[in-house]
Amino acid sequence: MKLRTKPLVSIAALLILLAFLVVPGIFMGWNFYPAAWHAFIVGPRSRPLRDAQFERTPQRRERGKYLAEGVLACFRCHSDRDWNLPGAPPARGKEGAGHIFTEDGRPWLVAPNITSDSETGAGRWTDDMIARAIREGVGHDGRMLHPLMWYGAFHDLSDEDVASVVVFLRSVPPVRNSLPQTRIPLNRRLQYADLQLPITSPVPAPDLSTPQKRGEYLAGLADCVGCHTSWYHPQAPVFAKLFAGGNLLEGPNGFTIVSPNITPDPSGISYYDEHLFVEMMRSGKVKARPLHPIMPWFWYGKMTGKDLQDVFAYLRDQQPIKHSVDNAEPPTLCKLCQEKHGGGDRN
């Protein structure tokens, strides 16, 4: 008896081990596989921290402030906001002090306090801890950061620009505000495991020789494409059509809105000119029509006219896609993006 069960037990153990190794690959796709195992056993993909300190020059502080309060909109998430004011700016005195995002009253995501407070903020983190968090998605303590920290978009920040942001953050007045930490469930950690991209060689400034190229850098950092593209319905005709809109976005208190088409098609923003574009970013209004503050115009509106014109030049270069979204009308089902939005039945 003993002689016969032993091999059976070993075979069963081997099969269980094989299933354990193979099943996650089948469900998550083989591309994710190595990163997912790495995340499960070791932690997020990351590089060792460097000991260097960024020189604190006034130029860097100024450039960092311009980027962080403008195109990168850091305090859009890292602050409580005043939703009663146009554009929902950070609440006074809370800039960078962090924010707890809740769903049905329960906290699920925490944007930490990144002011220079040494007890509850970033005061004791090294420059490289902050730089690595911004571009590579790994926290000061080595944990995987939730991708709603926009390190995917910030990954392309040049070394000089990320240094500038860090130098600026060091100058943000400390605010004492102790917050819990985000807990990403294990299945999500595995799902996000290939989003952290360690940077191990220098990142020079990109080619900034034309308005379109400068606009591409800025629009990439702002992740216009992330919000203004439909990503969740693979069968939808405008799925992954860049800038064609159709992305259902969630705001505070369960409010939802579908992002509009910003391609140069007549159903998009072909009627915009440079002047209207800059005016919209500055005022949060398209002529008399106000835009919901989920569109971060409050921050982008702080960019220089020239930078905004470059972003517009880049947008103008995109492929026109037909898809009307008019949030001023009542929502109806749209067969192009498979969401319910104003003017959906006209598509």
Exposed/middle/buried for 240, CB within 10 Å: 0-12, 13-18, 19+?
A: exposed
Structure tokens at 136: 């590579």
Pick from 173, 176, 177, 154: which is nearest to 165 by CA? 154
Q: Out of 145, 167, 244, 337, name the contact with ligand HEC by CB under 6 A.
A: 145
Q: How many residues bind ligand HEC (CB under 6 A)?
A: 50
Residues in the chain: 347
Q: Report the residue from 172, 224, 236, 334 that binds ligand HEC according to the rule CB under 6 A.
A: 224
Closest separation in Å from C-beta 41 to ligand HEC: 19
Q: Which of 35, 36, 97, 133 binds ligand HEC (CB under 6 A)?
A: 133
- The residues in 38-67 that bind ligand HEC, with binding defined as CB under 6 A, are none
**In whole angstroms, how close is the CB of 286 to ligand HEC at the nearest point?**
4
Name the one range near ligand HEC by CB under 6 A: 28-36, 170-178, 284-292, 333-341.
Answer: 284-292
Q: How far apart are CA 163 and CA 150, in angstroms?
A: 17
What are the angstrom distances between the C-alpha of 280 and each of 87, 228, 268, 274?
Answer: 12, 16, 15, 10
Cβ proximity to ligand HEC: between 262 and 313 the closer is 262
Closest CA to 244 of 297, 320, 332: 320
Place of tokens 């008896």: 1
Q: In this chain, which stretch among 6-14, 126-134, 199-207, 230-238 interacts with ligand HEC, using CB under 6 A?
A: 126-134
Take residue 326 and report the two structure tokens written for it: 């008019």
| Of the candidate residues 97, 167, 175, 269, the single one contacting ligand HEC (CB under 6 A) | 269
Token reading at 4: 């016969």
Min dist. Cβ of residue 9 to ligand HEC (A): 42
Of the pair 72, 163, the CB lying nearest ligand HEC is at 72
Binding of ligand HEC by 295 (CB under 6 A): yes
Smallest Cα–Cα separation from 206: which of 152, 157, 171, 264? 157
Considering only 140, 233, 282, 340, the residue that binds ligand HEC (CB under 6 A) is 140
Binding segment toward ligand HEC, per CB under 6 A, in 13-21, 185-193, 232-240, 288-296: 288-296
Nearer to ligand HEC, 36 or 68 (CB): 68
Question: Judged by CB under 6 A, which of 35, 73, 175, 278 binds ligand HEC?
Answer: 73
By CB under 6 A, tell whether 78 contacts ligand HEC.
yes
Q: Which stretch binds ligand HEC (CB under 6 A): 6-14, 42-50, 217-225, 330-338?
A: 217-225
What CA–CA distances, in Å, run from 164 to 79, 111, 192, 304? 20, 21, 28, 17
CA gap 150, 170 in Å, rounded:
20
Task: Assess 259 for contact with ligand HEC (CB under 6 A).
Answer: yes
CA separation for the pair 242, 220 (Å, rounded): 12
Tokens at 212, concatenated:
């379109």
Residue 32 as a binder of ligand HEC (CB under 6 A): the answer is no
Give the span between the Cα atoms of 120 and 103, in whole angstroms.
Answer: 24
Asked if 131 touches ligand HEC (CB under 6 A), the answer is no
Query: How far is the C-alpha of 135 from the C-alpha of 157, rounded, in Å?
Result: 7
Residue whose token pair is 């929502």? 331
Residues that bind ligand HEC (CB under 6 A): 68, 72-74, 76-78, 109, 111-112, 114, 130, 133-134, 139-140, 145-146, 148-150, 154, 165, 169, 181-182, 184, 219, 222-224, 227-228, 249, 257, 259-260, 262, 269, 280, 286, 291-292, 294-296, 300, 311, 315, 327
